Amino acid sequence: MTMAHEINKERPSGLFPERRAFSSGAAPRDVTGWATTAVITALVLVFAFWATLRRLYGVSLTLGVSEYVLMPAAVILALAVLAILIPAARSVSRARAARQCVSSGKLVNARILTSAASDCAYYTFGFAALLVAVIGFAQFLVANDLAVSRTFLLIPLMWHSFPLVFKAFWLNVYIFVVAEILVLVWGLIVAIARLMPGETARPIRAMATLYTDIFRGMPAIITMYLVGFGLPLSGVPLLGNLSAETYAIIALTLTFGAYVAEVYKAGIESIHWSQVAAARSLGLSYLQTMRYIIVPQAIRRITPPLLNDFIGLQKDTALVNVIGAIDAFNQAKIISSNNFNLSAVTVVAFIFIAITIPQARLVDRMLEKDQRRLRGG
Amino acid sequence: MPILEIKNISKAYGSYRVFDGLTLDVEEHQVVCLIGASGCGKSTLLRCINGLEPIGSGEILIHSDRVSGPGVDVNALRRDVGIVFQSYNLFPHMTVMENITLAPRKVLNQHAKDAEVQARHLLERIGLGQKANVYPDSLSGGQQQRVAIVRALAMGPMIMLLDEITSALDPELVSEVLNIVRDLAADGMTMVLATHEMGFAREVATKVCFLAEGKVYEEGPPEQIFNEPQGERTQAFLKRIVAAGRL
């Protein structure tokens, strides 16, 4: 076998730089400093945690929590926090070993150990950040002789207000379920109107654009107020004499119809024009192409952003309280002013969070799946 | 009497003139191959015939009936003129069967049963009978392109336009697609192909047209175009094709 190309050393082509030394062959940097810092941080936080725990323990006793529950829980927590010392200690031992390897010339081992040591140190810092947040929150709860806990988290009041608030929450559910169905239809109509092709459809397009501009720009609470108080005042036949929840549904459909129309529009535009060309070339009309080819593909893509808008809509059902319907928030406000305590409102917050978290995770999962498919495809 | 007449058409994108008085006749059962450099308008010409793009001036006739300009029922035109694209453009959310039967059902108002029987027959003929119920993304490029051809054939077109249908394929998949085109040519289907497969054009074409300067620069039977090209630009083009090892 002969070499296909001789390397011309006298006259380089100039296409790549002169050879230089292999720069990744040096010894790794020393990370014992980082490792020591990790240990100190860990120790400080363990003591801070213990101190906070002691305070919580005392407070809980005065609130009448049984000692038989409290003692084991406190002991378990106090021991569990020691876990932060494990990565810290590991970081130090690896960093030391790495230093020895460097001095005895085992550079590859030194690099591996250094990388492990700094990973352990970073892990400790992450854990520490979490502990700082937990300690801060606990201290906030017990601050000013438990004022915060008593205001927001008065357990007996939460317990008693829950059934009333939960019952009122069905109004929110009714509003968002009906509004979501209407929004899905209305948003698609607006999106198709905005995307109508040709010169003749210009007025329709302009109208649809004006609508989305207005209702995306207007705060939902103002739309709610104008619809909920304005329509009854105007006394328009059919529209002047509806229930507060119906006005809420109208207002939310108008507002979120504009958002969702944008989502639909983006979805439809994201389908490659070659799909339209293929469908039209088979003799399908514009509307048939939309109906059978474009919208079904767009819907798959826009489900995650659509769900995001729905989460927004569900939360905004609480705005119905400005026009006086007794939803969960309004009910909680009544309870709160009767008791001069906000714990009932916290219950509403928990309910909203409880229904939106699964949806948020679902959106994340769908987006992730989409990404995987795109990367894989 | 030509089945398809393209009379003196012009078209411009801004200041760039794609067609400048292009004229071309296609007889029934003819296989016309359009060749030419990248950007010479082969694909655009096919898209204009099919009404997917408007033309500036001139006219296009099918069976002496004008099919360009305002007032033409493009959906009716496309029932009779099928087109297959370089990138297959199958509908990814539909199975192979649904891809093929959609247009016959919705445009020709065929019964679902009849459309499926016909689709199954066509799929068997191209050796994809097993794939009726799979989605396009599980097919190879060659299989997808064969399905795309069948999808166009299911409408029973009088003319088929094939737009560089093998350009996006891996080399070993090209022949399975070209074999179908060969069969169609043998059956007497009238076809207009834009192609870079010069060997195939030489074999299957009844007429080869070299497009340049917005016109049919030179046309003739394949032996004449490939062996004794007359025009200067045709000669230069074919020389480059030979230099690239493609002929």
Dihedral sign computed on CA atoms, order A325, A326, A327, A330:
positive
Cα separation of A15 and B131, whole Å? Answer: 51
| pLDDT above 70: residue A23 | no
A120 with A49, same domain: the answer is yes
pLDDT confidence of B38, banded at 50, 70, 90?
confident
pLDDT confidence of A374, banded at 50, 70, 90?
low
- The parent domain of residue B17 ranges over 4-243
3-state SS string for A344-368: HHHHHHHHHHHHHHHHHHHHHHHHH
Q: How many residues does chain A have?
A: 377
A242 with A317, same domain: the answer is yes
Parallel, antiparallel, or unpaired: how do β-strands B57-62 and B65-66 relate? antiparallel
User: What is the model's pLDDT at position A368?
Assistant: 83
Q: Does A271 touch chain B (CB under 8 A)?
A: no
Domain boundary residue among A107, A136, A151? A151
A184 with A245, same domain: the answer is yes
User: What is the model's pLDDT at position A65?
Assistant: 74
Arithmetic mean of pLDDT, A229-247: 86
Decide if A360 is inside a domain: yes
Nearest CB to A284 within list B52, B107, B152: B107
| pLDDT above 70: residue A7 | no
| pLDDT above 80: residue A20 | no
Arithmetic mean of pLDDT, A229-244: 85
The ipTM estimated for the assembled molecules is 0.91
Nearest to B33 by CA among B187, B164, B214, B179: B164
A206 with A232, same domain: the answer is yes
What's the pLDDT tens digit per position in A89-100? 999 999 999 999
**Å from A183 to nearest chain B CA?**
24
Count of CB atoms within 10 A of residue A74's CB?
17
Decide if A127 is inside a domain: yes
Q: Which residues of A touch B83 (CB under 8 A)?
A: 281
- Quote the mean pLDDT of chain B: 93
Distant-in-sequence, close-in-space partners of A233: CB < 8 Å, separation ≥ 6: none
Nearest CB to B89 within list A274, A285, A296: A274
Arithmetic mean of pLDDT, A244-265: 94
Count of CB atoms within 10 A of residue A167's CB?
12
Burial class of A334 by CB neighbour count within 10 A (0 to 12, 13 to 18, 19+): middle
Decide if A22 is inside a domain: no
Q: Please identify which residue in the block is written with the tokens 């940097």.
A: A29
**Å from A276 to nearest chain B CA?**
9
User: What is the model's pLDDT at position A1?
Assistant: 46
Q: Which residues of A touch B50 (CB under 8 A)?
A: 281
Q: Which residues of B touch A288 (CB under 8 A)?
A: 106-107
Q: Which residues of A touch B75 (CB under 8 A)?
A: 283-285
User: What is the model's pLDDT at position A80?
Assistant: 94
pLDDT confidence of A10, banded at 50, 70, 90?
low
Specify the CATH number for the domain of residue A272: 1.10.3720.10
User: What is the model's pLDDT at position B188?
Assistant: 93
Specify the CATH number for the domain of residue B153: 3.40.50.300
Which residue in A274, A280, A281 has the most chain B C-beta atoms within 10 A of its own C-beta, making it the best mutation to test that interface? A281
Decide if A14 is inside a domain: no
DSSP label of A291: I
A238 with A93, same domain: the answer is no
Decide if A212 is inside a domain: yes
A139 with A121, same domain: the answer is yes
Decide if A5 is inside a domain: no
Q: Which residues of A touch B91 (CB under 8 A)?
A: 275, 278-279, 293, 297
User: What is the model's pLDDT at position A377?
Assistant: 44
User: What is the model's pLDDT at position A240?
Assistant: 79
Nearest to B165 by CA among B154, B153, B176: B176
Size of the A and B interface in Cβ pairs below 8 Å? 55
Q: Which residues of B touch A283 (CB under 8 A)?
A: 75-76, 78-79, 103, 107, 155
- Under a CB-based contact definition with an 8 Å cutoff, are residues A130 and A41 in contact? no
Which residue in B44, B75, B164 has the most chain A C-beta atoms within 10 A of its own C-beta, making it the best mutation to test that interface? B75
- Measured in Å, how far apart are chain A's first and last C-alpha atoms? 41
| pLDDT above 80: residue A373 | no
Domain boundary residue among A99, A132, A151? A151
User: What is the model's pLDDT at position A375?
Assistant: 63
Q: Which residues of A touch B82 (CB under 8 A)?
A: 281-282
Identify any residues that bridge with B10 across adjacent strands, giving them in sequence order.
B20, B57
Q: Which amino acid is at B116?
A: E
Cα separation of A159 and A216, whole Å? Answer: 39
Nearest CB to A274 within list B82, B85, B152: B85
Cα separation of A375 and B8, whole Å? Answer: 47
- Cα separations (Å) of A376 from A373, B76, B176? 5, 39, 26
A186 with A210, same domain: the answer is yes
- Under a CB-based contact definition with an 8 Å cutoff, are residues B54 and B165 in contact? no
User: What is the model's pLDDT at position B5?
Assistant: 95
| pLDDT above 50: residue A74 | yes
A117 with A236, same domain: the answer is no
Decide if A225 is inside a domain: yes
Dihedral sign computed on CA atoms, order B224, B226, B229, B233:
positive
**Which residue does chain B place closest to A286, by CA atoms?**
B75
A164 with A278, same domain: the answer is yes
Decide if A6 is inside a domain: no
pLDDT confidence of B209, banded at 50, 70, 90?
very high
Ramachandran region, residue A37 (left: φ > 0; alpha: ψ -120 to 50; beta: rest): alpha
| pLDDT above 60: residue B180 | yes
Arithmetic mean of pLDDT, A327-334: 91
A228 with A268, same domain: the answer is yes
pLDDT confidence of A376, banded at 50, 70, 90?
low
CB contact under 8 A, A296 and B78: no
**Å from A80 to nearest chain B CA?**
51
Nearest CB to A293 within list B75, B79, B91: B91
**Å from A182 to nearest chain B CA?**
26
What's the pLDDT tens digit per position in B126-168? 999 999 999 999 999 999 999 999 999 999 999 999 999 998 8
What's the pLDDT tens digit per position in A267-301? 999 999 999 999 999 999 988 999 999 999 998 88
A87 with A165, same domain: the answer is no
Percent of chain A with pLDDT over 90: 59
| pLDDT above 70: residue A258 | yes
Nearest to A191 by CA among A263, A131, A243: A263
Question: What total number of domains does chain A contain?
Answer: 2
**Which residue does chain B place closest to A299, by CA atoms?**
B93
- Gyration radius from chain A CA atoms: 32
CB contact under 8 A, A284 and B87: no
| pLDDT above 70: residue A150 | yes
**Å from B73 to nearest chain A CA?**
10
Nearest to B128 by CA among B106, B102, B155, B151: B151
Question: What total number of domains does chain B contain?
Answer: 1
**Å from A208 to nearest chain B CA?**
27
Cα separation of B12 and A72, whole Å? Answer: 84
Q: Which residues of B touch A293 (CB under 8 A)?
A: 91
| Contacts of A101-105 spanning 24+ positions with Cβ under 8 A | A102/A27, A102/A28, A102/A30
| pLDDT above 90: residue A160 | no
Q: Does A284 touch chain B (CB under 8 A)?
A: yes
CB contact under 8 A, A281 and B78: yes
| Contacts of A167-171 spanning 24+ positions with Cβ under 8 A | A167/A331, A168/A326, A168/A327, A168/A328, A168/A330, A168/A331, A168/A332, A169/A327, A169/A328, A169/A348, A169/A351, A171/A245, A171/A317, A171/A320, A171/A325, A171/A326, A171/A327, A171/A328
User: What is the model's pLDDT at position A8?
Assistant: 65
**Which residue does chain A place closest to B49, by CA atoms?**
A281
- Quote the mean pLDDT of chain A: 88
**Å from A100 to nearest chain B CA?**
56
User: What is the model's pLDDT at position A235?
Assistant: 80
Cα separation of A269 and B19, whole Å? Answer: 30
- The parent domain of residue A53 ranges over 27-151
User: What is the model's pLDDT at position B92?
Assistant: 93
| pLDDT above 80: residue B56 | yes
- One DSSP character per residue, chain B reads --SEEEEEEEEEETTEEEEEEEEEEE-TT-EEEEE-STTSSHHHHHHHHTTSS--SEEEEEETTEE-SSTT--HHHHHHHEEEE-TT----TTS-HHHHHHHHHHHTS---HHHHHHHHHHHHHHTT-GGGTTS-GGGS-HHHHHHHHHHHHHTT--SEEEEESTTTTS-GGGHHHHHHHHHHHHHTT-EEEEE-S-HHHHHHH-SEEEEEETTEEEEEE-HHHHHHS--SHHHHHHHHHHHHTT--
A182 with A128, same domain: the answer is no
- Cα separations (Å) of B93 from A271, A305, B97, B136? 12, 20, 12, 8
User: What is the model's pLDDT at position B244?
Assistant: 87
Cα separation of A221 and A94, whole Å? Answer: 58
Q: Does A270 touch chain B (CB under 8 A)?
A: no
**What is the number of helices (H) and of strands (E) in chain A?**
14, 0
CB contact under 8 A, A278 and B85: yes
Interface residues on B facing A, Cβ-Cβ cutoff 8 A? 47, 50, 52, 74-76, 78-79, 82-83, 85, 87, 89-93, 102-103, 106-107, 137, 151-152, 155
CB contact under 8 A, A277 and B85: yes
**Which residue does chain A place closest to B74, by CA atoms?**
A283
**Å from A275 to nearest chain B CA?**
6
| pLDDT above 60: residue A125 | yes
Domain boundary residue among A118, A151, A184? A151
